[in-house]
């Protein structure tokens, strides 16, 4: 997370808990871009529910990790947040992957046979 350019950095750093969503390949690239944008309310019009500690969980995700904010490491203008997973939920669906500059399915990222 770049602490100088992300609008919500101060909020994330102050939170006791955070959620990490692994999105599915179904309509997820638009959702991923939405949350990476600078719009004020990233959750407006998005299906979500409350997790542990009232953290928002995005509906329809392939997996959800609910984490307690444990520590952070600073390097240059970046902050790496380390969280302890306190609850994990998953569905047996194809996750979205961002690799080699594009959104792909996990199958597309597998090394070729042979």
Distances (CA, A) of 75 to 3, 17, 105, 112: 10, 22, 31, 36
- Kindly state the tokens that stand for 34: 């939405």
pLDDT in tens, the chain (114 residues): 444 345 567 778 888 999 999 988 877 778 888 887 777 788 888 899 999 888 999 988 999 999 999 999 999 888 888 999 999 999 998 888 888 888 888 888 777 774
Query: In angstroms, rounded to a whole number, what is the distance separating the alpha carbons of residues 25 and 28?
Result: 6
Cα angle vertex 67, ends 95, 92, to 5°? 25
pLDDT score for 79: 86
Distances (CA, A) of 36 to 45, 70, 87, 110: 16, 23, 24, 25
Listed by start position, the domains of the chain span 9-106
Query: In angstroms, rounded to a whole number, what is the distance separating the alpha carbons of residues 48 and 58?
Result: 4
pTM (global) more than 0.85: no
What is the SS3 assignment for 47? coil
In CATH, what number does 9-106 get?
A: 2.30.110.10
């Amino acid at each position: 997370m770049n602490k100088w350019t992300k609008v919500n950095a101060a909020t994330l750093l102050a939170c006791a808990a955070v959620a990490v969503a692994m999105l599915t390949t179904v309509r997820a690239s638009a959702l991923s871009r939405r949350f990476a944008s600078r719009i004020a309310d990233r959750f407006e019009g998005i299906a979500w529910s409350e997790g542990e500690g009232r953290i928002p969980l995005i509906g329809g995700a392939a997996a959800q990790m609910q984490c307690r904010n444990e520590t952070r490491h600073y390097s240059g203008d970046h902050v790496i947040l380390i969280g302890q997973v306190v609850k994990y939920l998953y569905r047996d669906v194809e996750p979205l992957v961002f690799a080699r500059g594009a959104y792909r399915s996990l199958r597309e990222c597998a090394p070729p046979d042979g």
